[in-house]
Amino acid sequence: MIAEILCVGTELLMGQVLNTNAQFLSRRLSALGVSQYHQTVVGDNADRLEAAYRLALSRADVVITSGGLGPTVDDITKRVAAKVAGKELVIFPEAEEMVRSRFRQYHRDMTQNNLSQAMFTPDTTLLLNPNGTAPGAIVPMGGGKVVIHLPGPPVELQPMFIDQVEPYLHRRSGRVLVSRYIRIFGMGEAEVDSRLSDLETGGNPTLSPYCSLGEVQLRATAGAKTKEEAEALLQPLLDTVKERLGSVIYAIEEDDAGSLAKSAVEALKARGWTCAACESLTGGMIAANLVDIPGSSSVVRGGLVTYQTDTKTLLADVPAEVIALKGVVSAEVAIAMAEGTRRRLGTDIAVSATGVAGPDGGTPECPVGTVFLGVSTVDRRYAIPLALTGNRSRIRTLAMKNAVNALRLEALGLEPATIREGNAHK
């Protein structure tokens, strides 16, 4: 099955609205095993939209639109699709009742033009919208091809696609797809690829990599007649990936909503540990990333932001003579920050971060991107040196992620790695 995404709206072309719908739909379609070769954004112009429909239908089985289902004159998505199909729009009583009930629910008067939201071609399959006034639709276009209309607001589009369109695509494809998302930190994309390249050429199951800042994610997908058969196909591939990559895999999940912080919090919970952070260049990012996770209050005691040199002594008991002798950006100061914070807050583990985020402040001996993390537990303490590159935001974010990963590894009892730009070294 080949799908094409057609996003409608002049506001998208002008950059007034970020096109997150295309990203969401692309990821969900890929997880379903649906191929995509083109995406299009077109403004609220009937002639150009008609041309876009005809081109998309010439090369795809399913065309998925977002936007243009409202009541105003520039909402032309359904009208132009009907013209391409050679059909007329008619009122659907079920859709009309949905629109009217939604206005009653919102305690608003419904103007006559809102009835256009209940109009579809006669052979349409309705997609009712529990989160807005515009129903969606699956519209046959002839030759076995369909156009699927979805509303523009993401809070309406996303649940409609997951709850109603995905089951339709499953039925249409005639098979079940099972995916697992393998999340990796501490090894760069090139190294991951060199270890797994022979696994990325399979037809079923498939293994596909994609990256975010400092991380690599793999999507493993298998298709079969039943979920159990697909899972049986998938498991040997997952076992091989785990064997080849080891502890840099921090999660294998059924969706792509996981995070490094979630894995760290879960590892700390399993160990029965509490944690704290002492932060200089990250300025609270480590603690904030951890407490974003629901239930983190059971493990996160607190954090110290010791941005100035003297506050490291005042708040975290870092000896002033250590700072004077070794410099504020040093392994010794990072360890002292973590140790002092752990003792002050009474936690099982503390992590610290000190470094030069830039763009200025670097020296030949301590260039921008030099970062030291400190880890302190009851049993041991050590520093993790990092040599990071990029702008200030990138350096601070990578420092935060490495610190969170250090908590995860230590809680799991795994030997931590010295990490340089995402590649793990002993």
Q: Are 369 and 387 in contact (CB under 8 A)?
A: yes
With a cut of 60, say whether residue 419 has pLDDT above it. Answer: no
With a cut of 50, say whether residue 425 has pLDDT above it. Answer: no
Class of domain 176-253: alpha beta
What's residue 417's pLDDT? 58
Q: Output DSSP code: residue 386.
A: E
Residue 63: name the closest of 47, 42, 45 by CA.
42
What's residue 416's pLDDT? 67
Can you give the residue ranges of every domain in the chain? Answer: 2-173, 176-253, 260-425
Supply the mean pLDDT for the chain.
93
With a cut of 70, say whether residue 424 has pLDDT above it. Answer: no
**158-174 pLDDT per residue, tens:** 999 999 999 999 888 87
What's residue 423's pLDDT? 37
What's residue 426's pLDDT? 24
The helix (run of H) or strand (run of E) holding residue 365 is none
% of the chain with per-residue pLDDT over 90: 84
How is domain 260-425 classified at the architecture level of CATH?
Alpha-Beta Complex (3.90)
What's residue 421's pLDDT? 37
Confidence category of residue 225, pLDDT binned at 50, 70, 90: confident
Sheet arrangement for strand 275-279: 300-305, 275-279, 349-355, 370-377, 381-387
Q: What is the rounded (10 degree) CA torsion for 296, 300, 305, 309?
A: -140
Q: Is 296 left (phi over 0), alpha (psi -120 to 50) or beta?
A: alpha
Segment 270-274 mean pLDDT? 98
Confidence category of residue 203, pLDDT binned at 50, 70, 90: confident
Q: Are 161 and 153 in contact (CB under 8 A)?
A: no
Segment 399-418 mean pLDDT? 90
Homologous superfamily of the 2-173 domain (CATH): MoaB/Mog-like domain (3.40.980.10)
Q: Mutual orientation of helices 77-85 and 46-59 as an angle, nearest 10°?
A: 60
**56-87 pLDDT per residue, tens:** 999 999 999 999 999 998 899 999 999 999 99
Token pair recorded at residue 240: 């091989």
Pick the more confident residue, 256 or 104: 104
**114-171 pLDDT per residue, tens:** 999 999 999 999 999 999 999 999 999 999 999 999 999 999 999 999 999 999 998 8
pTM above 0.85, yes or no: no
The reply to whether 2-173 and 176-253 are identical in fold is: no
